[in-house]
Amino acid sequence: PWLLSTILCDKFLQHLPLNRQSDAFAREGIDLDTSTLADWVGACTATLAPLTTLIRAHVLAAQRLHADDTTVPVLAKGRTVTGRLWNYVRDDGPFGGPAPPAVWFRYSRDRKGEHPTDHLTGWTGILQSDAYAGYNTLAKPGRQPAPVVSAGCWAHGRRGLFKIAERDKAPLAIEAVGRIDAIFQAERTINGTPPEHRLAVRQTDIAPLVDDLFDWMRECCRRMSTKNPVAHAMNYFLRRADTFTRFLTDGRICLSNNAAERALRGIALGRKAWLFAGSDRGGERAAAMYSLIVTARLNDVDPHAWLADVLARINDIPNPRLHELLPWHWKAHQQVHNTIAA
């Protein structure tokens, strides 16, 4: 809302004589009512909806997606309830894919598993996520057009062991973190290379590290109580060995779900500023605007400059050319224009 309000204030002031701009800003910029700002965001969301639709189509054309969600407080009858913002990230960079990165956000009032099932209706491919059970329906046999292939997040699993190692200095947790870090280090050498190369290196260099880790964890857990925190953290891997080892059979799969977690970072920071969404409609608007703003940032595009330009031009561009306003096309056009101007 702040970003859009700034853009719209700029547009408003541009149409006033200079001697009236300061008075207008004092009157309209500082004392703007919350409902006015919300109306502005709503108008922008509606105007930019075609671009949100294009981003959704681009994201769902991917063969592999990252998925995650985070909380968003929503005002409801004098109190707040906990809604969710879900994100689905397309990032083909780790396996050398040429498609630009993008993220599509959705809002829901709760965290029921029916939401990701609805969001990904008609999509099939590889879904990287944490162990949230709500994604399980997507992988069930018989799902149409086909079950999704689930891939686990090693960073998420490592986090539990790292906390124990840091807090309790538990030797087994420290060793587990060291073994996992060796796998991450081996993965860094193949980041950005084609899937075939990644797969070959994984089969020869990384698979033995993974096999040794899982054999060692099983042996450790046999000697510990199931109530032991270290055993609990290790069993997070062992109970989902198929999803955690899936990256060894497909070069497109990442070792972690960090792409989705990074895309949610702005929401965590934003909650400290805007505190809550005023309604479900506000949550839906937030999801649409985050889709646009975070996608711009993923493509190294300044959201303020991009949105200001797009809002000024979008109504004059015919539908077949709307894709030209997507951040990666807009960036390429700006670079060409700047080169010609120079």
- Residue 277 within any structural domain of the chain: no
* pTM metric for this prediction: 0.88
CB of 121 closer than 8 Å to CB of 137: no
Q: 179: domain range? A: 154-248
Q: Is residue 241 part of a domain?
A: yes
User: Per the domain annotation, does 116 fall within a domain?
Assistant: no
The Cα–Cα gap between 331 and 102 comes to: 14
In a domain, 182, yes or no: yes
Q: Are 1 and 301 in contact (CB under 8 A)?
A: no
Per-residue pLDDT of the chain (342 residues), as tens digits, is: 445 544 544 444 343 333 333 344 444 444 556 677 777 778 889 999 999 999 999 999 999 999 999 999 888 887 888 899 999 999 999 999 999 999 999 999 999 999 999 999 999 999 999 999 999 999 999 999 999 999 999 999 999 999 999 999 999 999 999 999 999 999 999 999 999 999 999 999 999 999 999 999 999 999 999 899 999 999 999 999 999 999 999 999 999 999 999 999 988 777 776 667 778 888 999 999 999 999 999 999 999 999 999 999 999 999 999 999 999 999 998 887 666 765
Three-state SS at 144: coil
Evaluate whether residue 242 is within a structural domain. yes
Number of domains in the chain: 1
Q: Is residue 185 part of a domain?
A: yes
Flag whether 177 is in a domain. Answer: yes
Residue 110's φ and ψ, nearest 5 degrees, are -140, -170
Q: At what angle do helices 2-14 and 303-313 cross, to 10 degrees?
A: 50
Q: How far apart are the first and last CA of the chain?
A: 35
Q: Is residue 184 part of a domain?
A: yes
CA distance 263 to 253: 18
